[in-house]
Structure 1
Amino acid sequence: MPHLSRLTSLALTIAVACAAPAVIAADLAPQPARSVGTAPAAAPLPLDELRTFAEVMDRIKAAYVEPVDDKTLLENAIKGMLSNLDPHSAYLGPEDFQELQESTSGEFGGLGIEVGSENGMIKVVSPIDDTPASKAGIEAGDLIVKINNQPTQGLSMTEAVDLMRGKLGEKITLTLVRDGGTPFDVTLARATIQVKSVKAQLLENGYGYLRITQFQVKTGEEVGKALAKLRKDNNGKLKGLILDLRNNPGGVLQSAVEVADHFLTKGLIVYTKGRIANSELRFSADPADASERVPLVVLINGGSASAAEIVAGALQDHKRGILMGTDSFGKGSVQTVLPLNNDRALKITTALYYTPNGRSIQAQGIIPDVEVRQGKVTRDADTESFKEADLQGHLGNGNGGADRPSGKPVIGARKARPQDDDFQISQALSLLKGLSVTRGN
């Protein structure tokens, strides 16, 4: 259910990519920067500061221990201008720009982690499912204190990401700190990251599970197909659905709007407000309902960011689903990618987004309706005591029907399911079953 027309008013594409300079953006066809909007009247040039800049550049060229060419100095100056604005604005060289474009298609090279900055440290926002990072056990919230034994303290986001990039198949060692504990090393090999953004399955008869790992260009379309397949696999109708947005770092704004629209039939989904005219946009739902109003529980946690928060916030404001889990990441800013000459680009924050009720979640996050922290699911042995039907000479049931004596538990006969090992999924499923009972489904 593509809604491309909603974005035609925006001359350049907008992304709500989380944290890392090489995360996600929308369509990236080169366009002139002036098409972003009408800029305010230019202030007089700060001549004193420009003289200082030229003097510093001359001093570095004359006195630095090694020769430095003008191109390197100027590119570093540009990077500094962007990196000091906010954690999400960045100057993208040809490789960075290429990786940004590739990531929207769901295939790129790397480790499979989204990173952010916290108190000068590099922090894992979330590992991407089925990548070297997730398979190595890296978790959201881990601090990366060293990359191949080089300390990350004081590194810019761009510098840290550059260190983690390299040739496919090459090994890299990250030194991590988890929950303030002792540093430990994780060695993993760079790989081609092929991210399948949507995964779906039936948990039990009538109850579906839909996980979105990140918001790519085709995620909205994939969610529509997944909902149709879940209904088909369950004889045309679902009793309940779990939408899992945990550790989803965000992605393309358009896809977030399309996903939310699959569950809404009217009203505002999200709106953006910025300093330039084209940064102020509003996105509303259309009457079609791919979910068929199925009871919904949405799982979020501290790794749910940006586009994931747009979807969660819209569903929460419209009371379309129950949010369960822990507070989300809190990235409420919008980035616009401005292509430059020579295959370079700027990724610059141009607006903040707001939920339908006018909430900005910037630096606050979305609070779930039901807080459920992740825990380990353990199961005691199922030991049944005697029942009435086990007693010799017991009376039969007055309404007919077979007796139900105690029986030996069947061990290992059932295939492992997500709810068996994931406490939050287990709690969400229990809530959906309760809703089904009270609604008479």
Structure 2
Amino acid sequence: MFFLFKLYKYMTYGLWVGLSLLIISLQACGGNSQKGEITFDDDKQFFLSGYKDIDKYYIDDPDFQTISLAALGKLSALDANLSLEQKEGQVVLKKTDTILLEDKIPGTHKEDKWASLTTKAFMAMYENSSVLQKMPREDLYEIAYSGIMTKLDPYSHYASALIAADNRASRDGFGGIGVKISVQNGMTKIVSVMHYTPAERAGLKINDVILEIDGIPINNLKNHEIIRKLRGSIDSNVTLKIQRPFPENIFEVKLRRMLVIPETVSYKRQDDIGYIHIYNFNLETTESLLRAIYAVKNENQKPLKGIVLDVRSNPGGLLDQAVSVADLFLNSGVIVSTRGRHPDSYQKFEATKGDILDGLPIVVLINGNSASAAEIVAAALQDNKRAVVIGTNSYGKGTVQTVLTLPNQGELILTWAKFHAPSGYSLNNLGVLPAVCIRNSAQNIDQTAFDLKTGKLLSSPLYARSLLLSSDQTSLIKLRNLCPGRPLELETDVKMAEKIISDVSLYEIGLSLNKSINLGNANLVINTQN
């Protein structure tokens, strides 16, 4: 841990319900329960807490005039009778032709002044608009912050209390029984049972149907409602009525909930190659990966030749887990560094001695949906010449976010820093460029291997990534277009990985490709074969 306060480091991008970020989870003080009458002080504390966080942690200096007016503009747009304007150094709020509020624009950067102005205007709108009065307070907060976020970067956002609770469960775990469910046509079917969980110990099986939870039929409930009924406090009990199809049987089972952290790693061993897929990075990923590596090393009497580490479509997760995953395979070297406006955002993470595979070949698979923490692992192993990366250009989500808890138990997710690969280049907007590009399923991998072995195949990492500025969009686009990202997870990726692991000379050549030359050499061949 590198901070004096409680720190979670987390990354991800917009495709995942748990988002793509470095997480600093700070419990805001003075929160209200949202029960009873909401006072001016409650609303002000909500806005002030967010404004203070933005001022302290956001990667760029905030403009609170722009931010505040954006929030109020979103709220006033809810009611056609409300209008908001700046006039002669004042904010003027009207309902039709009646002035509801006329307040001087603060001539200061102080968050307290701007929070007061925002709250006064918010209260004036609420008290004079039947439209706003019909809406839950939480919805109004969300709308106000949606305005604020239009003035920040695309990865900063607000999560309501309900969504924030789900996000915390995804990354930190939750009280549950350890099943995944599918709800179709009113039938709730168990589709997977996690190992070492109450569900497994109780003998629940895939295809079991849940009929009731604590005596309440669930056939009319939606997926998220059923999930919330299955979850609860750790060590609390839940009773399920189960219908088992084969042989047909209906029975009740009582389970005690435990801390459940979603599984993020799967593995298999085929012949002399291990295949490990990391889906995202949560609190248990490194431990799960250790178990997977132990299993693939010991499942077969034949010596293990190497590992295919698959992070395709991995949206990210906890930064400390990305660092510890990369560290498992390295003896030394930088893993990643972060840089932002806040002094504590300047961090460098370095590997410690102890390669769990003792130098066995590693091929990392990436695609256009590999982001954030997944990109950290791929870049760290590539730049330290520990793995050959194949596939396509990754997503290019190279910013780090903090997640801060607000008084309403919602979360404010703010971009806090940019992260840089060990060789120094910024991953933001560029991503990780594979040593061997697999453009589509029709690509001839035998021809690709031949071109690689004979020196005809040069790949995008050869280009001067470290010399590019993130603002140089023309060059960034040119680099990304050399091996455009694709969302698909192709079997061709896996076949190429197997070929590289099985041929030591191919593997060594793949490792050697990670160096820089001048951008724009027209004589290079970039995997154009199909």
Bin the TM-score by the shorter chain.
0.5 to 0.7
Q: For 1:348 and 1:51, how far apart are their aligned partners in 2?
A: 27
Q: Does 2:409 align with 1:351?
A: no
Encode CA deviations 1:307-328: one digit per residue, 9 max, x unaligned: 0001111111111111100110
The Cα of 1:13 is off from its aligned counterpart by 2.7
Q: For 1:86 and 1:166, how far apart are their aligned partners in 2?
A: 30
After superposition, the Cα gap between the structure-2 partners of 1:52 and 1:257, relative to the gap in structure 1 and judged at 3 Å, is farther
The Cα of 1:9 is off from its aligned counterpart by 5.5
Q: For 2:428 and 2:277, how far apart are their aligned partners in 1?
A: 24
Q: Does 2:27 align with 1:30?
A: yes
5 Å matches for 1:359-374? 359-374=425-440
Q: Does 2:253 align with 1:256?
A: no
Higher deviation after alignment, 54-63 or 193-202: 54-63
TM-score by length of 1: 0.62
Q: Which amino acid aligns with 1:16?
A: M
Q: Which amino acid aligns with 1:213?
A: Y
Q: Which amino acid aligns with 1:100?
A: N
* Structure 2 partner of 1:14: 9
* Structure 1 partner of 2:171: 104
* Structure 2 partner of 1:422: 491
Q: For 1:266 and 1:10, how far apart are their aligned partners in 2?
A: 28
Q: For 1:210 and 1:41, how far apart are their aligned partners in 2?
A: 42
Q: Percent identity?
A: 31
SS at match of 2:503: helix
Q: For 1:44 and 1:203, how far apart are their aligned partners in 2?
A: 58
The Cα of 1:269 is off from its aligned counterpart by 0.3
Q: For 1:351 and 1:337, how far apart are their aligned partners in 2?
A: 13
Q: For 2:316 and 2:62, how far apart are their aligned partners in 1?
A: 34
Of Structure 1 and Structure 2, which has the larger fraction of its residues in helix? Answer: 2
After superposition, the Cα gap between the structure-2 partners of 1:299 and 1:74, relative to the gap in structure 1 and judged at 3 Å, is closer
5 Å matches for 1:183-222? 195-204=262-271, 206-222=272-288
* Structure 1 partner of 2:500: 431
5 Å matches for 1:320-335? 320-335=386-401
> Cα RMSD between the aligned structures?
4.0
Matched-pair contact (CA < 8 Å) for 2:125–2:132: no
The Cα of 1:213 is off from its aligned counterpart by 0.7
Encode CA deviations 1:382-414: one digit per residue, 9 max, x unaligned: xxxxxxxxxxxxxxxxxxxxxxxxxxxxxxxxx
Q: Which amino acid aligns with 1:51?
A: V
Matched-pair contact (CA < 8 Å) for 1:37–1:278: no
Q: Which amino acid aligns with 1:224?
A: L
Q: Does 2:349 align with 1:283?
A: yes
1:232 to 298, 303, 312: 298
Q: Which amino acid aligns with 1:239?
A: K
After superposition, the Cα gap between the structure-2 partners of 1:253 and 1:78, relative to the gap in structure 1 and judged at 3 Å, is same
Encode CA deviations 1:211-230: one digit per residue, 9 max, x unaligned: 10111111012112211221
Q: For 1:21 and 1:231, how far apart are their aligned partners in 2?
A: 32
* Structure 1 partner of 2:512: none
Aligned residues: 320
1:300 to 338, 362, 366: 366
SS at match of 2:394: coil
Matched-pair contact (CA < 8 Å) for 2:370–2:394: yes
Q: For 2:398 and 2:64, how far apart are their aligned partners in 1?
A: 32
The Cα of 1:165 is off from its aligned counterpart by 8.5
SS at match of 1:211: strand
After superposition, the Cα gap between the structure-2 partners of 1:201 and 1:62, relative to the gap in structure 1 and judged at 3 Å, is same
Encode CA deviations 1:93-139: one digit per residue, 9 max, x unaligned: 21011011011146799999xxxxxxxxxxxxxxxxx89xxxxxxxx
Higher deviation after alignment, 66-75 or 261-270: 66-75
The Cα of 1:282 is off from its aligned counterpart by 1.2
After superposition, the Cα gap between the structure-2 partners of 1:255 and 1:425, relative to the gap in structure 1 and judged at 3 Å, is same
5 Å matches for 1:368-387? 368-375=434-441
After superposition, the Cα gap between the structure-2 partners of 1:429 and 1:20, relative to the gap in structure 1 and judged at 3 Å, is closer
The Cα of 1:305 is off from its aligned counterpart by 0.6
The Cα of 1:264 is off from its aligned counterpart by 0.9
After superposition, the Cα gap between the structure-2 partners of 1:8 and 1:36, relative to the gap in structure 1 and judged at 3 Å, is farther
Encode CA deviations 1:265-306: one digit per residue, 9 max, x unaligned: 111100110111122211110001112211111110001011
Q: For 2:319 and 2:300, how far apart are their aligned partners in 1?
A: 31
After superposition, the Cα gap between the structure-2 partners of 1:438 and 1:276, relative to the gap in structure 1 and judged at 3 Å, is closer
Q: For 1:217 and 1:361, how far apart are their aligned partners in 2?
A: 24
Higher deviation after alignment, 59-68 or 98-107: 59-68
TM-score by length of 2: 0.52
Matched-pair contact (CA < 8 Å) for 1:332–1:353: yes
Q: For 1:42 and 1:88, how far apart are their aligned partners in 2?
A: 15
After superposition, the Cα gap between the structure-2 partners of 1:233 and 1:9, relative to the gap in structure 1 and judged at 3 Å, is farther
* Structure 1 partner of 2:91: 51
Matched-pair contact (CA < 8 Å) for 1:82–1:348: no
Matched-pair contact (CA < 8 Å) for 1:9–1:278: no
